[in-house]
Structure 1
Amino acid sequence: LRAASTIYILIAFAGCGGYDTKSVETANWVGERTYPSNQTRPWSWEGSSQKILNWTPESDPDADYNRGTVPLKARFTNPAYWANDNARDEGRVAVTTPWYVSEDPNSFVSYGADYFDMFTYTYWQYLDVFMVFNNWNSAMSAELFDVAHRNGVEVYNLIMNPPAGEVEILVQQDDQGRFPGADKLIEIAEFYGFDGWFFNLEAPGTTALARQLRDFFIYFNKKGNARNVRAMMYDSWTEAGDVDYQNELNERNDWYFHHEDRAAAHEYYLNYWYDQKRLADSRDLALSYGRDPYDVFAGFETWFHYWKSGGDLKYPVWDIFPTDRPYLLSLACFQMNGARDVASDNADYYIREGQFISGMNNDPTNTSTGHEWQGLAHYYPARSVINSVPFVTNFNTGHGHLYAVDGDVRMRKDWYNRGIQDILPTWRWIVVSEGSTLKPEFAWTDAFYGGSSLRVSGRLESDNLIKLFMTHLPVTTESSFVVAFKSGRTEEPTHMNVSLSFEDEPDEWVHLDVGSSDTPEWNTRRLDLSGFAGRTIGAFGLFFDGAAQDQSYEMKIGRMGVIDGAANVPSPPTDLVVENKVEDRTGVASLRLKWTASPSDVQYYNIYRRDADGGLTYLGGTTLTAHFVPSCERNGEESTTTVAVEAVSYEFGYSSHAVAEFTWEN
């Protein structure tokens, strides 16, 4: 695959005129790092072929910080709520993109850090597979595994540009016919909690090695099927081991996908220089083998042929989506991080990424444009994982300039932590109005919980319905809708309603008035849903009453969701220990913390320091039972500091704290 040079990642171009075989062959494939003096920070495991063969759970000293814990959520889509008439639920969508974790390209850290400007992907509802693409081999990021799985998206790790000698070590076969490298890759995926491997081989091999790789995939397919781990091969090697991009599945590369009535790689990723005939021929060849043609992904190189070109495409991606017959293949978008890299700031990044997904109008119902790319939402319907109660979202995008808990700001500094990103709106943005329309957007200046909220602003002179989430939420006599909002006004009507659509009447929206604001700060409401017991909420959003006639309306929404009964209060975690501490500079320490999990069903854990006045300062959050705190500040001349960990339920109930102390040395 071809990658662009950014301030974070430097990868030799491949698959184009800029491809340099020597630079690939001599690249530091293993990604050996020079670690900083602060050894407290846990690092993502990675390794050479021999390191993969020798891997055991004990060989990763930071394993407890690197393992994903969120299981892959089941997804659904409901045609009654599809936003775009052109969209069809055919094929799959993958992205292949760097998963930035630090401003230092050699610092693949485990779970979050202390800065805001980070690639925080948020459009999971249109993806099926997220494939990591960094310039080192195998990157274990629990942060990625957790947020992707929370949204029902599989994660594939990377075998990136190994020289032929490394490939030979990885795909060797033992005297019992086994492929130890395949067994280890499957074991590694199971242990860390991801779903497959993407093989990007762009250094030339030999015919003998190509044959060995084919047999390796056949073995991997059988073993992987039994353990839900998959392998995908990129269209780089021919069956002679040459690097020669075919841009289709044909007789020169098909044995990596299927050979003599046996499936090889689970999926195949075509290079970008195709036309509709090559796409159709690839589909026909896959079908002739009895394989699903949607296991073949047509690549869409978005860096130069979308982000850098202003939306115009060099190759006919639209040929994947004929209107007179089924979609030919699945789609794989390379370098979705381009939105961030060409954006002027964070707000611009969200707009640009939204245009790629929802179309140039940032509205999945209206993808009309003069550009050649009409947006993923033009071709594919959104999917949802919101199929059980409780469901609560705080519109937390996974980064911010502050961190709040139920309206109480407990940290004021930049941060990112994508592992605790909320499930975000299914549609961005659908605003229905016969007059002036309000503008919904994320805001990072205020939050009810986390680092962001939903802000709705503009001229409220006509009724506005903002459709937000596709759901499948059964209502009982115990059900209620929870909402937190902030208008900045006191004892004035909000003109805001929670709006519900039920699956038995999907075109009807029922509005529940949240009433007047009690305070200019955050207000909370719990709206009784028992009158709808027995029905199923198929979608929900917000309705704003045009009778307000307000030319400068603004409302922040910090929580929405459906719960049954009272919020569950989980049992606390136990046995909190400070595993290691390093005083990096006067009055600041980095910490490794570990604890025993709560026995309750826990969404994640919040970590705090206890302040001298009895308050709490937020230090981080994680789904794991281990966490690295990059900076814990000393209060004055205190000799000891207390850290605390609480469990958080899915309704945002909070346990009591597990606590531990550490002593300052300087």
Structure 2
Amino acid sequence: MNPLGPTRRTVLLAGAAATLLPQLPMPAFAASQAAAVNTGQPYASYWYPDSLPAGTPGTGITWNSLKTWTAASDADLAFNAAAVPLAARFTPTAANGTARSGQARIQSLVSFGPTSSNPSQGAATADYYALTHWSYLDELVFWGGSSGEGIILAPNAPIVDAAHRHGVPVLGNIFLPPVAYGGQLQWTRDLVQKDSAGHYPLAAQLVAVAAAYGFDGWFVNAETSGGNTALGTDMQGFLGELKSLAAAQGQRVTWYDAMTVNGTVSWQGALNTSNQAFFQAANDMFIDFRWSTSTLAASGTKADGLGRSRYELWAGVDVESNGSSTSVSWDAMVPTAKAHITSIGFYRPEWTRNHLPASRTPGDFHAADDRFWTGRSLDPSLPDSTDTWRAPAVSVADRSTVGGALPFASVFNTGHGLRWYEDGAVTSDVAWNHLGLQDRLPSRRWVVRTAGQRPTVTFDFADAWRGGSSVLVSGVLNQPTTVDVYGSQLPIGDDTVVDLTFRTDSGSGSVNVELAVATAEPSTAGSTPPYTYLPVNSVNGVRAVADVNGWQTVTVPLTGLSGTLHAIGVRLTAADASGSTVNWRLGGLAVREVNDTQPPAAPSNLRITAATGGDLRFVWDAAPGAVRQYTLHRLLPDGTRRFLGGTCQRAFFVGGLQAEQGEQQAWFELRATGELYTASAPVTVAHTW
């Protein structure tokens, strides 16, 4: 491949990075005040290893040294620490005959926002890279960094929480920039400095940060030229100690193919003697983009000879500029006729958002993202063999985390939206994003089984039961149509039931709904699960709940079934036998025991720890027991409640509040939300204007 060009690193420049998101408020403190208590908007953390650049930081930028960081002095730690543990995953029978398990894996290097102004807990815009195809990912790197802001980045909590909910580890990024981008060799020397005992203090700091923040390790990218063999040797020692300390905390380390063992920067496009020592000192290695069919084959063979898995090599695929139109030598990595050669490392798949015009909607983004991950057919069970873009769904078997003990529930919240809905009613008309609120989403989208015309299935943002989105099935139903929703490993007991919450939009044809459940895997890859179809209406023992805001919730007992629930879907049949156009929404799904309706206990000690005008920082003590998330509302003078935000953390920032007319105090209510979306009693606090 061609040498790295400026377009491949533009996000790492502070000025260019600022264009990735709408302009956001900047921190109201400068470098000289970094040790003071922060009362404003919290942002994702970033550092230099030790020494800081000459001069002063730009507006909104704070220069911090990782060497002096402590958890106790981190004013934003409560906002940045992830709360969701890494979930266990399993692999259902593949959706098609080409996707494989146990071979190639997929890593993504993603820039979610600017280095110095990436909000800790979402923002008031739906325009966000709301990644949902987690089932094909094995590792996510929180990509970014720049010489003018900071070169070590810790991922923010919403991204880690969403990834962990789907079983995907998240790595922070260490970016030692090329000299052309302001890189200073001193920063590399700072990173690998030794103490008097011969240890690497920055390795211990990195592991401590990841442990405190709740993410899973580090991606090390040393691209500053000018080094020598001594520096290369120090880097090997640093990397080995980092990996050892990380492993003790359940963390991991990935190395980027740039620095060689002699300390120079020379991208190899292969695993070879120039970088083998670094690969051996790390868990994985990202092979630079200039690989070829022969160098990847040799790299896989070399990994085998070292007693390592060849799938611990991520072959870089640069999709920043062209996304799913990128020309890739797929057979060099994931051939269809023989075992996969290496894994895949996608650089900047957020192209699916960034290439769209500024007027883009969440629906536009998800359409492009589905094309990228699923392929042109938009159905992983029916891959298009003529598609030159070999989507991950074609090569890699999807994974699921919908297993373990009951209950399980989803309202198909993608982590962003144009409004916020509760029980089908709008409780905030402000656009938002917060990936930490994302549900465990269907792992294969969308498998539609019908002998007739295929309807369109999408996440839709025009209406929702809870959160910001629902699943919309739209089109002509001239034959019964089954939509696969979840692959699962959930236990079925004598009292297990499934709740479906759905609605038929105004103007749609009537739809007969059945719940599709399978207690065994399909017999072969790509075949239909052995579904049993259960009626979803008020007869045959099914208990219906009255409509709420146009949505109906129906509870379906799994009477007569036992063992394990392996697949969940819905079968839709138009009431008009000749077929009619329908617009049908699935807003919620839950699998639970019939008496499992107890709401969670309430949190306690809600308090406002900082207030600057209408900018407030809330903190509270955790509710006892299992909690999915917390929601914060403002209680308005007329008695209505306005949704302000939700989070998995025990701290939340709200900016720009104003007093209502005649209001002397603003009252706020915090609730814990359980797995079944039942809410606790509120705990309240007041703010005097």
TM-score after normalising by structure 1: 0.89
Partner of 2:383: 367
| Cα distance in 1 between the residues matched to 2:166 and 2:605 | 31
Partner of 2:230: 208
508, 522, 529: which one aligns with 2:558: 529
| Cα distance in 2 between the residues matched to 1:249 and 1:271 | 10
| Cα distance in 2 between the residues matched to 1:540 and 1:569 | 25
Q: Deviations over 1:299-358 (max 9, x none)?
A: 111123x42xx6241x41331113444212111111010111112423222112111111
Change (3 A) 1:625 1:542: same
Partner of 2:343: 330
Partner of 1:128: 138
584, 590, 595: which one aligns with 1:555: 584
Task: Return the offset for 1:493.
Answer: 5.5
239, 264, 269: which one aligns with 1:242: 264
Q: Deviations over 1:453-479 (max 9, x none)?
A: 111111111111111211011111121
Task: Return the offset for 1:541.
Answer: 1.2
Partner of 1:16: none
86, 89, 104: which one aligns with 1:75: 89
Q: Deviations over 1:590-610 (max 9, x none)?
A: 211000100121111011111
Partner of 1:169: 190
Task: Return the offset for 1:417.
Answer: 0.9
Task: Return the offset for 1:161.
Answer: 2.3
Change (3 A) 1:248 1:5: closer
Preserved CA contact (<8 Å) 1:95 1:127: yes
Partner of 1:186: 207
| Cα distance in 1 between the residues matched to 2:520 and 2:261 | 51
Task: Return the offset for 1:124.
Answer: 0.5
| Residues 58-457 of structure 1 aligned to structure 2 (within 5 Å) | 58-79=72-93, 82-89=94-101, 90-100=103-113, 106-136=116-146, 137-162=152-177, 163-204=184-225, 205-258=227-280, 264-304=281-321, 306-307=322-323, 311-313=325-327, 315-344=328-357, 345-346=360-361, 347-388=363-404, 389-457=406-474
Task: Return the offset for 1:296.
Answer: 1.4
| Residues 497-516 of structure 1 aligned to structure 2 (within 5 Å) | 497-503=514-520, 507-515=529-537
TM-score after normalising by structure 2: 0.87
Calculate percent identity across the aligned residue pairs.
28
- SS class of match (1:236): coil
| Cα distance in 1 between the residues matched to 2:374 and 2:270 | 28
| Cα distance in 2 between the residues matched to 1:595 and 1:630 | 18
Q: Deviations over 1:110-158 (max 9, x none)?
A: 1011111111111111101000111342134011111110110000000
Structural RMSD (CA): 2.5
The answer to whether the aligner puts 1:35 opposite 2:30 as a matched pair is no
Q: Deviations over 1:258-286 (max 9, x none)?
A: 2xxxxx11111101122222112111211
Give the length in aligned residue pairs. Answer: 626
Deviates more, 1:173-182 or 1:555-564: 173-182
627, 635, 647: which one aligns with 1:610: 635
| Cα distance in 2 between the residues matched to 1:654 and 1:3 | 52
Deviates more, 1:203-212 or 1:508-517: 508-517
Change (3 A) 1:323 1:505: closer
Preserved CA contact (<8 Å) 1:113 1:630: no
| Cα distance in 2 between the residues matched to 1:157 and 1:387 | 28
| Cα distance in 1 between the residues matched to 2:39 and 2:385 | 51
Preserved CA contact (<8 Å) 1:619 1:632: no
Task: Return the offset for 1:503.
Answer: 1.5
| Cα distance in 1 between the residues matched to 2:368 and 2:331 | 20
Task: Return the offset for 1:177.
Answer: 2.4
Q: One-letter code of the match for 2:190? A: I
Partner of 2:482: 465
Preserved CA contact (<8 Å) 1:462 1:547: no
Q: One-letter code of the match for 2:586? A: I
- SS class of match (1:69): coil
Change (3 A) 1:489 1:140: closer
| Cα distance in 1 between the residues matched to 2:469 and 2:384 | 30
Task: Return the offset for 1:614.
Answer: 2.2
Partner of 1:55: 69
Partner of 2:20: none
| Cα distance in 1 between the residues matched to 2:629 and 2:420 | 15
- SS class of match (1:49): coil
Deviates more, 1:57-66 or 1:495-504: 495-504
Preserved CA contact (<8 Å) 1:461 1:547: no
| Cα distance in 1 between the residues matched to 2:501 and 2:450 | 24
Preserved CA contact (<8 Å) 1:390 1:562: yes
Q: Deviations over 1:517-573 (max 9, x none)?
A: 9657111111112431x3211111110114534422111111012011232311100
Q: One-letter code of the match for 1:10? A: V
Preserved CA contact (<8 Å) 1:640 1:663: yes
| Cα distance in 1 between the residues matched to 2:5 and 2:109 | 10
Partner of 1:18: none
Deviates more, 1:119-128 or 1:626-635: 626-635
Change (3 A) 1:561 1:230: same
Partner of 1:636: 661
Q: Deviations over 1:223-242 (max 9, x none)?
A: 22222111111111122222
Q: One-letter code of the match for 1:541? A: G
Task: Return the offset for 1:73.
Answer: 0.1
Partner of 1:572: 602
Preserved CA contact (<8 Å) 1:173 1:179: yes
Preserved CA contact (<8 Å) 2:115 2:144: no
Preserved CA contact (<8 Å) 1:368 1:374: no
| Cα distance in 1 between the residues matched to 2:154 and 2:299 | 31
Preserved CA contact (<8 Å) 1:207 1:240: yes
- SS class of match (1:10): helix
Preserved CA contact (<8 Å) 1:420 1:623: yes
Change (3 A) 1:92 1:480: same
Q: One-letter code of the match for 1:92? A: R
Preserved CA contact (<8 Å) 2:515 2:535: yes
Q: For structure 1, list consecutive stretches of 5 or more residues without a partner in the other structure.
A: 14-22, 25-32, 259-263, 584-588
- SS class of match (2:46): coil
Q: One-letter code of the match for 2:246? A: G
| Cα distance in 1 between the residues matched to 2:105 and 2:421 | 37
Preserved CA contact (<8 Å) 1:470 1:539: yes
533, 538, 543: which one aligns with 2:566: 538
- SS class of match (2:630): strand
